[in-house]
Structure 1
Amino acid sequence: MSSDTGAPPPSDAPADLVVVADPQDPTALELAAYVTEQGRSAAVLDVFDAAQLFTVTARAGTATVDPVVPLVLLLPAPPDRRTGWDAEFHLGECFAQLWAVAALTPAPVVNRPAGTLVAGRTTRSAAVTARRAGEDGNGELFSCGYPRPGSPEGEAFWVEDLGTARAHRWPERPPGTGPYRARWTDTDPATETVVVLGDRGWRCTTADLDHLGLESRSVAAAGALGLGLAALVWRVTDGTATARLVHVEPFPALEQLRMVWLGLGPRLMEVLFP
């Protein structure tokens, strides 16, 4: 990022669309292939190459981004454990640059950052994420010691060790020494997944669930979480009378996108190339 009065750098976008992701990410590669099939070029760049592609310049209180090119952010989460001070500093600087680029560019951006960059307002807690999304979810229990189940809210009580991210059904202990997160669920819950892109949502099945309004609820929830592209998983309960939000995936798996591609693909082109 720079602030000067010199001539702006020349635009030199490598393609009509830049997808920022791990270069081997299947979802990123599928998106790039689809865009290419539609007559546009696409490049998949990792965080480091993408950050070096763009220049943000501030002049007279106005910020400009060069090149102006549509973006899809499918950013991998930073490593859980420090790999080295220099590597962490470099990664942080690249994330900061991309945050500025994606927030300030006038080009369309899928998953444009607002308050956060990597995963919107989602958290590892399903209950907190659901509350932020404006939905009620199952309660969760957090404990430094191995927890015991309270009043049943499902058929099985699952305990996750937050250090190892491994989960087992109570009373079996997951590997690790805690702390723990636990919640009730059904042994074989019925679920429905909705993929959201902006103001549109598509259910992944044709089950008779129109009365639950999952598409509109998913669009509203994704918007509240600051996500432009997401997959939301709903647990259908009481037969099919109610549904609770149980998981939000800020970077949907390729299998989830493929189930709704007939609607998602054309809409993606409309969003990226208005």
Structure 2
Amino acid sequence: MPETTAARPSAEPGRADRPIDLLIVDEADDPFGHAFSSFATARGVAVDRCRLPVAARRTTLDIAGCEVTVDPAPSVLVRPARPPLPDATEDERFAWTECYSTFWSAAALSPRPVVNRPNEWGGVSRSVLSAVVTERRAGRVPVLRENFWNDRPPPDPDRWFHQDLGSFAVSDSPAGITFGRSRERTATQGWEQVVVVGSAGFRVTTADIGPRDVEAQSVAAVAALGLQFATVSWAIPAGDGPAVLARVNPFPGLEECRPVLREVFTTLLELLLP
């Protein structure tokens, strides 16, 4: 499996010795990392993209008493890391775990901007699979119940949305699901999603959702969860009720951001390179 991704700006003629401004740690097939790297490079930023094991091997942590120095220490965008394959050997798993812990420490302790920086809550901060737990951690009071189940979906299945926790696919019916998560549904007029970058929130549609300020609510929720970059999905009730937080994704994909991609990329670059 190749450990580096697309051509790195640092390898271009005349730039071999130029310090890296921005490190993107992702997988080679991550379209967001590829697109953002191209966007930053076009604006004169020295960008390096690599997989987590490569980033770890290039990083040195110097610990002297209570002082920790990370070298090199560019700004870092952390994307999802693919774990070892199921048929990996014990040595391969051990090596990957060591690389993961090294990079985790470097990203957590770096004095430079890191999005999203790992902390005591983990790599996705306080956001979790449970919508209700995430909603509470975001400082909101859940108004719809949630049910995790194994072979026994909740009664009145038509009143719930159902997610297969094997494939994470969402459907209106629990049929064919063995281990699932169900969330009560309410009559909705539609859905809205907001991409949050730092203190800015960008709605991905221009639909009329009334006076609901989902941008501000999304920014507040993401900040409460300890994140800097995330997408927040909302169910918009058919009546006058408040928007219902449905999901927080701490690793937004390219397609999620596409309707507001230029705004997202511009703000993200400013956040990483203030």
Assess same fold via TM > 0.5. Answer: yes
Stretch of structure 1 that moved more, 178-187 or 26-35: 178-187
What CA RMSD, in Å, does the superposition of the two structures yield over aligned residues?
2.6
Equivalence for 2:54: 49
Structure 2 residue aligned with 1:67: 72
**CA 1:22/1:187 → structure 2, altered by over 3 Å: closer, same or farther?**
farther
Q: 1:194 to 1:161 in 2, by over 3 A?
A: closer
Secondary structure, counterpart of 2:211 in structure 1: helix
Deviation, 1:250, is: 0.9
Unmatched segments (≥5 aa) in structure 1: 1-11
Residue 146 of structure 2 aligns with an amino acid whose one-letter code is: E
Superposed CA deviations along residues 140-188 of structure 1, whole A, max 9, x for unmatched, are: 11233412325x8xx6433344345455433x5225xx33322233698
Q: Which residue of 1 is the match for residue 264 of structure 2? A: 264
Q: What is the alpha-carbon distance in structure 1 between the residues aligned to residue 189 and residue 111 of structure 2?
A: 43
Match of 1:236 in 2: 236
Of the three residues 5, 19, 26, the one matched with 1:21 is 26
2:31 maps to a residue whose letter is P
> 2:25–2:51: 8 Å Cα contact kept in structure 1?
yes
Change (3 A) 1:258 1:245: same
What amino acid is the match of 2:44?
G
Provide the identity percentage.
35
Q: Compute the displacement of 1:135 (Å).
A: 2.4
Quote how far apart the aligned CAs of 1:57 are. 0.6
> TM-score scaled by structure 1?
0.83
- CA change 1:13–1:187 in 2 (3 A) is farther
1:273 deviation in Å? 1.8
Aligned 8 A contact 1:160 1:174 in 2: no
Pairing of 1:239-250 with structure 2 (within 5 A): 239=239, 241-250=241-250
Match of 1:64, SS state, is strand
- Which deviations, in whole Å up to 9, do the C-alpha atoms of 1:109-136 show, x marking residues without a partner? 1101122343222222222222211224
Q: Which residue of 2 aligns with 1:255?
A: 255
Q: Structure 2 residue aligned with 1:148, among 154, 157, 170?
A: 154
Shift of 1:81: 5.9
Looking at structure 2, the residues matched to 103 and 31 of structure 1 have their Cα atoms a distance apart, in angstroms, of 22
Question: TM-score, normalised to structure 2's length?
Answer: 0.83
Q: 2: distance between equivalents of 1:245 and 1:136?
A: 10
CA contact (8 A) 2:84 2:96 kept: no
Displacement, 1:92? Answer: 2.0
Deviation at 1:213? 1.7
Corresponding residue SS for 1:76 = coil
